[in-house]
Structures are given as C-alpha cells and as structure tokens.
Amino acid sequence: MNAGFTAAADAILQKAVSGEPNIPGVVAMVTDRRGVRYEGSAGVRRLGDPQPMTADSVFALFSCSKAITGTAVLQCVERGLLDLDAPAKRWVPEIGELQVLEGFDESGGLRLRPPKRDVTTRMLMLHTAGFGYPYFSAALKRLAAEHGQPDPRLGAKRGLMTPLLFDPGESWEYGIGIDWAGQVVEAVAGQRLDAVLKAWVLDPLGMADTGFVPTPSMRARRASMHQRGRDGALAPIDFTLPEEPEVWMGGGALLGTAPDYIRFLRMWLNDGAGEGGRVLRPETVAMAARDHLDGLTIRRMMSVSRGLAHDAEFFPGARKTWGLTFMVNEAAAPTGRPAGAIGWAGLGNLFYWIDRRNGVAGFWGSQLFPFMDTAAFDGFLAFETALYAALR
C-alpha cells in the first residue's frame, strides 16, 4: 500500500463522517497475506459524545458473524463429525418439524404443508433451505406482527422455528440458515457455540476482542448503534442483544473489532493458516470459496422494514452466487474486485471482501441503520476502489 492510497483512504473516511449525508464513525482496514497494510478511523463512537472512533472500537458484527460460524461448520466436516448433505434433523430434530408456508387463509391463519425434501446443512450455509428474515420477507413480517413470531436476533429458540418460504433447495433467500447451522455445530461438537468458536476459531487466530458477550474492556470500547430518520438526521439508539440467550445466534450476534476481523480475513487469504496455527485445510478453503448454488443466483433483497434496511444488492447487473458462506461475484466488479472474490456484510453497515487472486482483503465497520445506508455504502465502495487503483 503506497502513500497515495493511505492519503486517499484517509480522505474517504473523513468524507464519510463529515459529508452530507454523513455517518457517525468508521474504522477501515486492508490486509495482504503478510499483515495489515492500512488501518484508519474517523468520527466518533457515539454522536453527542466526544470520544473518537478508534481502530480497537467494538462493533456489533451482525451478519459478518456468519462466516465465522460457517468456518466452524467446515471444521466439523474436516473432523469427520458432519456430512453437509445429510438431513440436518439428524443432529437437530426440531428442524424436521418445520413446514412450508403457502400463505394465509381468510382469517389470517397459516396455510402450511410438509416440505418435499429434508433441509441439509449445506442448504443452511447457502441460504437455500427456505428460511428468511422478517425485514426482507413480507410473509415473515406478517408472521411477527399477527402471530407473535419473535425477532430471530433475540436468541429465543422459538425465533428459529419459522416456517419455510419454499421447498428446500429450490430457491435462494437470505435468512437465518447460519443460525440453524450453529445449532448443528453445537450438536456434533457437544458444546455450546460460544465455546466452540472460541476454541476452534477465535483463540487460534488471536481474536481476543470477539465474542457473543463483551469483556469489560470490550464494553468500554463499544461503538453505539445509530438510526437515520426519514429526514436524514442521525441519532444514537440503545441497541443490545441478550447476553444469556436460549440460543447463541451464530448468524448475527457476535461482537468484535476491525483488527480481529482482519485476522479472520487474512486466514482465508492464507489457505486456512492463522497466526496461531492452521484453522482450515487449504483444500477446504478452495472448496468453500466458490459457487455452490448449482445454477441458482442470488437476488436483490427487497426491504419490507425501511427502518432496518434499504433494498440490498452488490454490483447490480453482475452475476453473483454463494459459497460456504460468502457471496461470490462471478464477474469483475466496478470497484476493481476481480471475478471469483468473496465477501459479504452486516446489518449495521459493515462490509468486507476477500480477494484471494490478488492476496488482499478489506473491512469497513460502521454502526447505523438502515442497512445499505448511502453514506456508509458509498464510502465503502470508494475505499475498495481506491485500493484497486493503488494496486494497478
């Protein structure tokens, strides 16, 4: 990373927090296979508080959690504990109880039928099992409003027991599949997910500032969540997740820092090798970092909860598929990201990508709703574009 990129990246972060519209604060990092090549921060952890955003600020990672839990699933496969293509109900019987939602009757009751086939753990990782999220599915939003279905982020087992939106394996819908996959990990490993992730992923990678429950040090460095109102103004909000939930939600409940997450991304650049030892085998990494949708493609996610998310799609018009457990862009992106790179995001406007071809990965961390906020997402795209301009 040359001095020109550092200056450009610093300017992008400053524009993100001082432009119009702006975001409260941001941390952004780039790594290559050897180590961190850029680290920057700007803004504040909480509007109205002078405490600056710093590189070690702690974020709610939301769906950036998914790849970490997915890594534990792959470790279960490597250890001979799990067959991705066997019915997941073999290990988690409750998943076999779920039916397909065909709609609502005249009185608002559910019209359900048995699925045509069993849900597998591979489907859970690919978002092809039939699960969704209530902020991207009108049916699930109605289920929450009229039938009291709990928000899946809150860690209640009942929050996982949602009907399927289609027959397993027949479509792609972003949802709570990785949360269910975390339950599979618990069953085959014989430990709760927090202990598995700590022993198998976080500790080997030196990710001491990542977990479902913050340490006192993490709590002191926590960046606040913010909400952008309809008038465009930002305000801090109190957002926390249960610290003693019934279920650890591996798809979205981890807290962590940018330096920790960049260690995780670097492991994927290095074919599964972390600074504290090997986490995955090279052949597992190569297998996971490719399309597994067998002809399906991922679609634009249409929001039904504008306070939480805008419509969401990376690189509209470009073909995108899904690996284990990342988006795979099948064509070169306008930013310079090449075909075959992997990446994803988190609901609080966190974004990352892993470019194994060029040996670079990047992370952008911010904390505000709704997802795909213009100022946050445009800043991330500008950051990524500046990196590839420097590489050229």
At residue 219, what are phi and psi to the nearest 5 degrees?
A: -60, -35
CA separation for the pair 24, 157 (Å, rounded): 34
Q: Is the bond leading into 374 cis (omega within 30 degrees of zero)?
A: no
Torsion region of 239: left, alpha or beta (phi above 0 gives left; psi -120 to 50 gives alpha): beta
Angle CA(292)–CA(353)–CA(11) in degrees, nearest 5?
160
Does residue 66 have an active-site annotation? yes
> Which residue of the set 174, 261, 352, 388 is catalytic?
174
CA separation for the pair 265, 258 (Å, rounded): 10
> Which residue of the set 41, 57, 63, 366 is catalytic?
63
> Which residue of the set 57, 66, 137, 352 is catalytic?
66
Does residue 63 have an active-site annotation? yes
Is the distance from CB of 251 to CB of 176 less than 8 angstroms?
Answer: yes
**Residues involved in catalysis:** 63, 66, 174
